[in-house]
Structure 1
Amino acid sequence: MEFDQSNIVEGADGQNAPIERIEELFSLLDLAESQVSSSADKAIKDINAFCDALSAAIEAAIETRKQALTAEVLKAKAEGIAGLKPYREAVGSRLGTINESDANICSALSRPGKRGRSKNTLRIPRKEELPHISVQLPGRALQTKVCNEIMAAGKVSSRGPVQLTFIEEKPGALLLNWEEVDQGRAVDFCQFRLQRAHGDACHNPSLEANFHDIYRGPDASFLAKELIPGDPYTFRVCSRAEGDQEWSAWSLPKVAITRLKHFGWQIDNPNYQVTNDNKIASKISSDPSVLYSCGAQFGPGHSIEFTVLEAKECMSDEGFGLASKKLAGDSLFQTGTLIVNGQGSIFVDGSAKTTKLPALTLGSKVTFTCEEVASDRMRVHIDSDNKTVTYDWRVPAQPLLFVLGFGQVGWKVLVE
């Protein structure tokens, strides 16, 4: 949080600042101090939790390994003693029937290295043949390694090296932008990680458990889709430099809401079945028919993607796109429309353009993005299969309808 100190001093010295403004500044300072204190308290709590968990895990691992090694030693001991049992039994049985011919037993017991004097002589295994149980331990090397790892664990950051800078409402979505704010780090970040939690996690810390990844990649912006209009969502971002294994500290979390309804189709056209929260339209009759969006939802700064979920043979009079108003009849190719037909041809105000996109097939994705050029003109970018075309379309810079029109049964299109 940044403050303009010169304005504060000037206002205070010149006694020109109204009392309401002074009180507002004090409130801002209270919030700033609260953020610093609460974040520090949370950091200390996280440190204690981490150290306690690490200590418990290390103690448990040491105890488990100690018991495992001890069990191996006891097993080796038991096996060694069990191997001597037959010799003890044989010696005991001879002691019960000792005679002159067995006198060699005493000699064998006193001289275990002497063998072969009598076929009745008992031989006790030599020391070299008996188990001599030992254990090989790493000594101080492991202790030093573990201690060094622990001493290097953790890092305190005053703030994350990247911060969310701008969040823009989109239909059923939010466009998030972030940038590097730590100018002292001469690092080119190769990857960003964006997380989202449903709800206001800033005022309800229990919602932090809901954070989950929604984007990982090199871009410094992302369109978070499938949001419930009117519901708050909390976002945070971190980064990782090339070669690093660990992620950086999180940015300051930000709560945002989109009040714009997500893109959807009208549901009152009997020639189409509209499902999935009005996002998917399926052609269910063979009558040519135009299906409209539920209102003029698409405008400057928006991006809309049509995805073909099911397809039939491409026809030249079928397709989808944008319209500035309701159309006369069931033809898409009229003044006030920008259409991509089933064969990939592009029509602006009913006239075909020379540039073509790939034909519509199963899995095709066509994206329309527009920006305002003048009050009566918009620039529309159309992307499909890594090919992009751009047109300056002479229509009022205001929200537009999106439309589709098919005659064959079986087409299914998702819009988002």
Structure 2
Amino acid sequence: MMEGDAMRQEAKESIEAAQNYRRELQLRLTGLKQACTQVRGSSSQARDALRRHFSELQAAAARLLAARLAQLVAQVDALEEQSLRPLTACQTLILQGVGQADQLLREGEAALRCDVEEDGLGSFNQKALNIHLDSLLEVPALVDVACVSAQLDDSVLEVLKEMVVRHGSVSSHPPVQIMELQERPGAMLVRWAKVDEDFSAVDYRLQYRRAAGGGAYEDAYVGGDCEVVVVHLDPQTEHLFRVSARGDGGSSWSPWSVPVAGSTSLAPHEWSPGTDGFILSSRRNIAMRCDSAPSGSPVLYSNGATYCPGQTLTFKVSAVGQADNRDGLGVCVERESGQETLQRDQAVCISTKGAVFVNGKEMTNRLPALALGSAVTFDMEVVALFSVGSSNNPSEGGANVKLRVTIGCGSREVVFDWLLETAVDGLLFGCCFAHTGWKVLVF
């Protein structure tokens, strides 16, 4: 009986294994179909692009050749008219002289038939003297008149042939591909890499669009970096990302990478509205210090404790004002009313002058002072979580948490441990500026 049960169990396991095997094969078959669809679809697009491009090239070349031909023929017409004008005038004068000579010949023959005593012979002689029969117009020699010709360089065909032979290329893989999408609050970190070692890339161009609706792609970044955070993305909305590259000395961009779809599930970071002295953008992710509040320098907090350890919080300075010792960008545990700075207990921040403060105490290490375009990043991870009992009863008390904090600005960063009195699910972020003109984007 036990042997039969074992055999039955073995059969069930084999059936389950076969089901799993079939499921995996079906998934691979689906992936294979998608790969075939990509090959066929991209090949069709490449053929259409080639036909369209060369058709446009042929039409443009025909227009250019026709225009050049018309220009050269017009030059021949102008040269012909210019060269014939004096010859035609000379011909007219000669024909007039021939006419006069014919008339004189007729009159002379008639005069010879007259008697000498008659006055006709004398009149003829006088008329012949007035015509100046010894005066002849000079006719230019052939070497002195125009001989219009066309100079055509047959080598242009060889040059054109060489250019056409090298024009265009076909490749099976784009030289750069998107390697990673990492969701950020209301944004997406996109990383890419060069996959063609023979391609020397200098600039990259990242574009994105909504996956649904098939709208046009928008430029998100053009530059030499291999990663960028694309901001202003609606959560739970899938977007397509693609990247291309431009080689050293080249003016044209490479083929686009295979589009990669991704979406962020994290709500975007927002500044808290209604704080005196600050103006917020429509998305509430940009804050601008607009005036000096009578009560001093207020701290503008986030709309909630939306920053969680394990994420990257970024502040980007898009406008600057006068620096002050109370200024700062950072994170804190609680919102404290009446505070004029983030340089306080249970908060970490960087001042506009580059000083780093932990729980109100300035660290020895400093970062670059904030300037237009500066990006400050906060990265935190939990490194220890332990309970702390009260002095009277060790069983009573809370939980302390130690966070490993990395603050980066430019090419420099500082790393330290930050001990919190209580464990928290999220932290507030904030900014503080004593003077107007500062504008900060958070993502």
TM-score normalized by the length of structure 1: 0.79
Is the contact made by 1:380 and 1:393 (CA closer than 8 Å) also made in structure 2? Answer: no
Query: One-letter code of the match for 1:172?
Result: G
Aligned equivalent of 1:381: 407
SS for the counterpart of 1:394 is: strand
Cα distance in 2, alignment partners of residues 349 and 21 from structure 1: 54
Query: One-letter code of the match for 2:374?
Result: K
Query: One-letter code of the match for 1:401?
Result: L
- Which protein is bigger by CA-based radius of gyration? 2
Aligned equivalent of 1:225: 231
Aligned equivalent of 1:346: 356
Q: Quick one: structure 1 residues 134 and 237, their matched pair in 2 at CA, closer, same or farther if it must change by over 3 Å?
A: same
- Equivalent position to 1:401, from 417, 423, 428: 428
Query: One-letter code of the match for 1:95?
Result: V
Shift in Å, 1:346 = 2.2
Unaligned runs of 5+ in 1: 1-10, 106-117
Shift in Å, 1:330 = 1.1
Is the contact made by 2:181 and 2:188 (CA closer than 8 Å) also made in structure 1? Answer: yes
Cα distance in 1, alignment partners of residues 235 and 189 from structure 2: 14
Query: One-letter code of the match for 1:302?
Result: T
- Equivalent position to 2:274, from 244, 261, 268: 268
Query: One-letter code of the match for 2:312?
Result: H
Is the contact made by 2:330 and 2:429 (CA closer than 8 Å) also made in structure 1? Answer: yes
Q: Quick one: structure 1 residues 306 and 18, their matched pair in 2 at CA, closer, same or farther if it must change by over 3 Å?
A: closer
Q: Deviations over 1:149-207 (max 9, x none)?
A: 2122222222223221111111232111122445xx4x373424233132228x84xx4
Aligned equivalent of 1:390: 415
Q: Which runs of 4+ in 1 moved over 6 A?
A: 102-105
Identify which range, 345-354 or 292-301, moves more after superposition.
292-301
Q: Deviations over 1:386-415 (max 9, x none)?
A: 55433333346854322123455x243222
Is the contact made by 2:383 and 2:403 (CA closer than 8 Å) also made in structure 1? Answer: yes
Aligned equivalent of 1:179: 193
Shift in Å, 1:20 = 4.2
1:316 aligns with 2:325: yes
Query: One-letter code of the match for 2:288?
Result: A
Query: One-letter code of the match for 2:260?
Result: K
Identify which range, 47-56 or 245-254, moves more after superposition.
245-254
1:297 aligns with 2:306: yes
1:73 aligns with 2:76: yes
Q: What is the root-mean-square deviation in Å for CA atoms of aligned residues?
A: 3.1
Cα distance in 1, alignment partners of residues 223 and 363 from structure 2: 37
SS for the counterpart of 2:30 is: helix
Cα distance in 1, alignment partners of residues 184 and 129 from structure 2: 106
Aligned equivalent of 1:31: 34
Identity of aligned residues (%): 22
Cα distance in 2, alignment partners of residues 406 and 66 from structure 1: 69
Shift in Å, 1:147 = 1.8
Query: One-letter code of the match for 1:368?
Result: T
1:286 aligns with 2:294: yes
- Equivalent position to 2:343, from 326, 333, 338: 333
SS for the counterpart of 2:100 is: coil
Cα distance in 1, alignment partners of residues 375 and 23 from structure 2: 53
Aligned equivalent of 1:161: 175
Aligned equivalent of 2:208: 197
Is the contact made by 1:378 and 1:397 (CA closer than 8 Å) also made in structure 2? Answer: no
1:132 aligns with 2:147: yes
- Equivalent position to 1:58, from 51, 61, 68: 61
Is the contact made by 1:308 and 1:360 (CA closer than 8 Å) also made in structure 2? Answer: no
Aligned equivalent of 1:215: 222
Q: Deviations over 1:345-382 (max 9, x none)?
A: 32111112233445557x37351231425253132223
Query: One-letter code of the match for 1:394?
Result: L
Cα distance in 1, alignment partners of residues 318 and 241 from structure 2: 31
Is the contact made by 1:264 and 1:415 (CA closer than 8 Å) also made in structure 2? Answer: no
